[in-house]
Structure 1
Amino acid sequence: MSSSMRHSLKSGLRSSRAQPRLLQTSSWRQSTFGSQRTFATSGMCPAINKICGSAAEAIADMKSNSTVLVGGFGLCGVPNTLINEVRANKSRITGLTAVSNNAGTNGSGLSLLLETRQIKKMVASYIGDNKIFGSQYGNGELEVELTPQGTIAEKCRAGGAGIPAFYTPAAMGTVVQTGELPTKHHPDGTPAEFSLPKDVKIFNGKPYLLEEAINGDYAFIKAFKADRLGNCQFHLSAANFNGPMARNAKMTIVEAEHIVEVGDLKPNEIHLPGIYVKRVILSQVPKAIEKYVNSKELDVSTHLASPAPSSPGNNNREKIALRAAKEFKNGMYVNLGIGIPVLASTFVLPEVEVLLHSENGILGLGPYPKKGEENPDLINASKETTTIIPGACTFSSDESFGMIRSGRIDLTILGAMQVNATGDLANWMLPGKVKGFGGALDLVSNPEKTKVVVTMEHTDRKGNPKIVRQCTFPLTGRQCVSTIITELGVFDVDWKEGLTLREIASGVTVDEIKSKTEAPFKVVEDLKIMDS
């Protein structure tokens, strides 16, 4: 080869390297549910274009008996366009194993596929009040693998990261660990099959149980924005399970509210890189809100607000919540369970600054919104409408539960059905009424670092004590509760020595408390009045 030819070749190589071929977008017009925008066109066919013209096209090759990971929490961040399309193919797509925090509500979300009997197995943390979910589980139509909420998130995250299994402190000493949880029932409601016991290993003197990762065939994901490369952005608490599930499946299909040009999403605005995504469609289903809850009056000094006026008979609950608010200390990160714990946040003193954590992916939870200002992408762990305060941040469920298990949360306040003398807690199941774990098993998994306070009425509706010698209901955690607050008094819990009554409600006697408490307890010498 002559010197002139070599020079020409080198010049050509330098030129091609200096000016790489730009990826061009194809023509794409969005429907009324997305941005009103026409994309730039080019005669050059783009090398990467993951946009499908319809949900039907996106799932055309979906097979029966697949495992599908479905993002969302309640009705927030749920890929309803894809779910509806699977339902439209009910004769072709059957026998699915669906992995999701829950199954939506009756007539919405994954309940639509339960109605058509296209799901044979659910891996979920929460059944709740979903009647078709509970009915099919109870009569043996549906196999259910109840799994702690944080464990589901980590199972998906680990599987997507190439990690086949991991050890977690969540659910130690519960039916999840021992393998006594029914996964399937006979038609008469009696258990037919049970979960398998988990392997346990000690790390740094503490027991952990082994959980295997989940591997999905498909992932149905809801995003706020996506481009043709598959890059995605989530919006507020709608991130929830969508991120870890999207990274896990062989075939991740994203439905986005807005499909944007490549480059419209800045690099630091991309929450899910396109390398994980195979197909993108435009969402065709309007967003919904499961539980509208509004404030009656905002208090800007505390960033918190009272919910709608309480119903008659709630005086005990408010008394407990008022006392629980005294557990908040300046600078704390606090997680609140549903019911009385959430109510406690409305009584935080103006001079106390705390950041409220919600396990569905919010740090900096604010008050309930004013009527008309609800945001379907902003809900709390109770699936209620909420707001966030200045300085708040949102993130995915796997990161949220990482904060919890690692002890970054200073205080968690939970409701309970039973607490025993040494701090064992039962709060997720009554006999014959299985609603699911939610995030409770994770929240009590690190009591050495996260203080666990239980708020509850002293007796149940039949007058039976809820502070007992031994819990008879399935446990949420062992030796995890530090403080019990009821309408009658406040107890300190020593996991070895038992209970000590340190505060008593005005007008209540120690003898009255003893008559309504099954577990023995000591009384401090300087017994204080609870509401003083």
Structure 2
Amino acid sequence: MNCLQTYRQINYISRHLVVYRQSLYVGQCRQLSLSLSRNAKLCTDVFEAIKDIKDGSRIFVGGFGLCGVPENCIAALVKSGVKDLTLVSNNAGVEDFGLGLLLRTKQVKRMISSYVGENKDFANQYLSGDLELEFVPQGTLAERIRAKAAGIPAFYTPTGYQTLIQLGGAPVKYNKDKSVAIESKPKETKIFDGKHYVLEEALSADFALVKAWKADTAGNLVFRKTASNFNPVMCKAAEVSIVEVEEIVDVGELPADQIHVPAIYVNKFFKGKQFIKKIEKTVVKKSKTENLANNLDAKKLKAIQTREVIAKRAALELKDGMFVNLGVGIPVLVTQYCSDKVVFHSENGILGMGPYPEPNEVDADLINAGKETVTTLPGSSFFGSDESFAIIRGGHLNVTMLGAMQVSEKGDLANWMIPGSLVKGMGGAMDLVFSHYSGTRVIITMEHNDKNGGSKIVANCSLPITGAQCVDTIITEKAVFNVDNGLELIEIADNLTVDELRKCTAAAFRVSPNLKSIQQIL
């Protein structure tokens, strides 16, 4: 063998040794990376999982209404006695379940929420000055949490522009005499493409209490139906995520392409001992015979008939193939009068929502935005709250229908607060009306007058607004108005003249030359 051949052979061996060493190093790094990502600790019980939560902690709490709430973690926190907590949750539970248990024992100092209207204890503590409340629109809440998980410190959103959310002045804490002790601060705005946007900061928490359906022993998670809601995004964003699950399976039993939250986001998890899975509003299908057998008095029967007229007329605005979001109340009734080819979206995470279930179909993990039991139709899908509001803000819906306390002649909407009196919150309504920015049509369905006979259509809203100049159409039992440089009356009830309508409407309107009858259209 000559010198040249020897050199080539040595060089060949050296190069392959380098490649071999590199492959060993890469393999070791991959194994190390994999072991580091699987840092989720399987705890023996809930008390081991929550033992590090201290007084004054800020905690994300998953769930929508009572659906998907981490009920074992909440019960354990009540027993632990930790206090002065700041809870970040879409809702405040009810008096005897969910976060209502922590509120009842007065372990909560501050709530950051979008809707708290189902809990009277909460309202009493807030209005009496014993509890602080920061209202955040539901979609903004989800996005602020998602931003933290993604390492984004702040973002701009159209939601809340020219409302108390952006202008400041919303009551955060009351004094005992109902005067305001702390109020929200104004937020920065900026114009993009001629439209106004509000700067919102990412929202962090020390812990997240999360409810999942299944986990494998590595800590990978799967959620079930609408019990997903805020749980996945909160799990990703907290410093320490604590997950309770209904079932734990061996690694490999959850198909890798069907895992919703990978184990890298999970710090502690455990199998819950029991799940009550309380349903806030069980609603089932009823036949016409059953409805007539309810022995309704004349006043209640008239109210039902009024709502039916509004819902039937509103259904005529929907066409096959439309994607539509329905708010609570009258809008939900619209599903009974329109084609099954209209695709309904619910902001708690459904596309393809179906009618109310038969009694044997009731599922605690399947509810609508009004916390009522529902079904789904073939082709439907489920997703988390952050995804749901991306659909809304992005203008992917054709129509949204909402109720209202007041609508102004300019198209301003008020439907979320009566300061010092009514504490509910905006829920997803602010995000929905600001989807008007992206081309979604906003239709208001409501009774024409309030319980005292006052007009709900006004010159200017006296209540805090949900959105400015965002309404396209108003439908009541007495009239239908288009909102375009003021109100234009396009339909009127048969039993009214235009003059009579003006007397019960506290806003100016012009009359279309093609004025029609609501009843004839129906």
TM over 0.5: yes
Tell me the matched-pair count: 494
Please give the root-mean-square deviation of Cα atoms over the aligned residues, in Å: 2.6
Question: How far is 1:104 from its partner?
Answer: 0.8
Aligned residue number for residue 233 of structure 1: 222
Q: Which stretch of the first structure deviates more once superposed, 49-58 or 244-253?
A: 49-58
Asked if structure 2 preserves the Cα contact closer than 8 Å seen for 1:307 and 1:368, the reply is no
Deviations 1:84-110 (A, max 9, x none): 1111110xx221110000111111111
Whole-Å separation in 2 of the counterparts to 1:284 and 1:291: 24
Whole-Å separation in 2 of the counterparts to 1:185 and 1:502: 44
Code of the residue aligned with 1:52 in structure 2: it is C
Which residue among 251, 254, 259 is the counterpart of 1:265?
254
Q: Identity, % of aligned pairs?
A: 50
Equivalent residues in 2 for 1:211-226, closer than 5 Å: 211-226=200-215
Deviations 1:343-371 (A, max 9, x none): 01110046xx2110000000000000011
Equivalent residues in 2 for 1:204-353, closer than 5 Å: 204-286=193-275, 287-297=277-287, 311-313=300-302, 314-349=304-339, 353=341
Asked if structure 2 preserves the Cα contact closer than 8 Å seen for 1:52 and 1:280, the reply is yes
Whole-Å separation in 2 of the counterparts to 1:488 and 1:243: 44
Asked if structure 2 preserves the Cα contact closer than 8 Å seen for 1:294 and 1:307, the reply is no
Which residue among 181, 195, 200 is the counterpart of 2:189?
200
Aligned residue number for residue 452 of structure 1: 442
Asked if structure 2 preserves the Cα contact closer than 8 Å seen for 1:294 and 1:308, the reply is no
Aligned residue number for residue 99 of structure 2: 110
Aligned residue number for residue 386 of structure 2: 398
Code of the residue aligned with 1:219 in structure 2: it is A
Whole-Å separation in 2 of the counterparts to 1:11 and 1:207: 58
Aligned residue number for residue 414 of structure 1: 402
Deviations 1:493-512 (A, max 9, x none): 01xx2011111112221111
SS at 1:81 equivalent: helix
Asked if structure 1 preserves the Cα contact closer than 8 Å seen for 2:60 and 2:209, the reply is yes
Equivalent residues in 2 for 1:129-144, closer than 5 Å: 129-144=118-133
Aligned residue number for residue 5 of structure 2: none
Asked if structure 2 preserves the Cα contact closer than 8 Å seen for 1:359 and 1:397, the reply is yes
Alignment gaps of 5+ in structure 2: 1-9
Q: CA 1:18/1:191 → structure 2, altered by over 3 Å: closer, same or farther?
A: closer
Which residue among 26, 37, 41 is the counterpart of 1:50?
41
Aligned residue number for residue 367 of structure 2: 379
Asked if structure 1 preserves the Cα contact closer than 8 Å seen for 2:62 and 2:68, the reply is yes
Aligned residue number for residue 154 of structure 1: 143
Which residue among 488, 495, 502 is the counterpart of 1:500?
488
Whole-Å separation in 1 of the counterparts to 2:27 and 2:152: 39
Aligned residue number for residue 62 of structure 1: 53
Deviations 1:353-397 (A, max 9, x none): 211000000000000001131100000000000000000000000
Whole-Å separation in 1 of the counterparts to 2:482 and 2:201: 37
Question: How far is 1:115 from its partner?
Answer: 1.6
Deviations 1:448-478 (A, max 9, x none): 4110001111111111111111110110000
Code of the residue aligned with 1:320 in structure 2: it is I
Q: Which stretch of the first structure deviates more once superposed, 390-399 or 11-20?
A: 11-20
Code of the residue aligned with 1:227 in structure 2: it is D
SS at 2:519 equivalent: coil
Are 2:70 and 1:79 equivalent residues in the alignment? yes
Asked if structure 1 preserves the Cα contact closer than 8 Å seen for 2:40 and 2:266, the reply is no
Asked if structure 2 preserves the Cα contact closer than 8 Å seen for 1:362 and 1:392, the reply is yes
Aligned residue number for residue 303 of structure 1: none
Whole-Å separation in 1 of the counterparts to 2:472 and 2:30: 63
Structure with the higher fraction of residues in helix conformation: 2
Whole-Å separation in 1 of the counterparts to 2:422 and 2:440: 29
Aligned residue number for residue 115 of structure 2: 126
Asked if structure 2 preserves the Cα contact closer than 8 Å seen for 1:167 and 1:208, the reply is yes
Asked if structure 2 preserves the Cα contact closer than 8 Å seen for 1:321 and 1:340, the reply is yes
Code of the residue aligned with 2:350 in structure 1: it is I
Asked if structure 2 preserves the Cα contact closer than 8 Å seen for 1:410 and 1:450, the reply is yes
Whole-Å separation in 1 of the counterparts to 2:293 and 2:194: 47
SS at 2:162 equivalent: coil
Aligned residue number for residue 451 of structure 2: 461
Q: CA 1:244/1:81 → structure 2, altered by over 3 Å: closer, same or farther?
A: same
SS at 2:434 equivalent: coil
Q: CA 1:500/1:308 → structure 2, altered by over 3 Å: closer, same or farther?
A: farther
Whole-Å separation in 1 of the counterparts to 2:53 and 2:293: 46
Aligned residue number for residue 471 of structure 2: 481
Q: Normalising to structure 1: TM-score of the pair?
A: 0.88
Code of the residue aligned with 1:499 in structure 2: it is L
Code of the residue aligned with 1:520 in structure 2: it is A
Q: CA 1:10/1:470 → structure 2, altered by over 3 Å: closer, same or farther?
A: closer
SS at 2:118 equivalent: coil
Asked if structure 1 preserves the Cα contact closer than 8 Å seen for 2:158 and 2:196, the reply is yes
Deviations 1:313-358 (A, max 9, x none): 21111101110000101211000011110001110046xx211000
Aligned residue number for residue 522 of structure 1: 510
Question: How far is 1:14 from its partner?
Answer: 7.6
Aligned residue number for residue 98 of structure 1: 87
Question: How far is 1:19 from its partner?
Answer: 11
Code of the residue aligned with 2:52 in structure 1: it is D
Deviations 1:24-57 (A, max 9, x none): xxxxxxxxxxxxxxxxxxxxxx985621001111
Alignment gaps of 5+ in structure 1: 24-45, 299-305
Whole-Å separation in 1 of the counterparts to 2:87 and 2:169: 22
Question: How far is 1:526 from its partner?
Answer: 1.9
Are 2:346 and 1:358 equivalent residues in the alignment? yes
SS at 1:416 equivalent: coil
Question: How far is 1:434 from its partner?
Answer: 1.6
Whole-Å separation in 1 of the counterparts to 2:413 and 2:477: 18
Q: CA 1:463/1:20 → structure 2, altered by over 3 Å: closer, same or farther?
A: closer
Code of the residue aligned with 2:353 in structure 1: it is L
Code of the residue aligned with 1:281 in structure 2: it is F
SS at 1:461 equivalent: coil
Asked if structure 1 preserves the Cα contact closer than 8 Å seen for 2:39 and 2:266, the reply is no
Whole-Å separation in 1 of the counterparts to 2:517 and 2:127: 46
Question: How far is 1:129 from its partner?
Answer: 2.8
Q: CA 1:462/1:53 → structure 2, altered by over 3 Å: closer, same or farther?
A: same
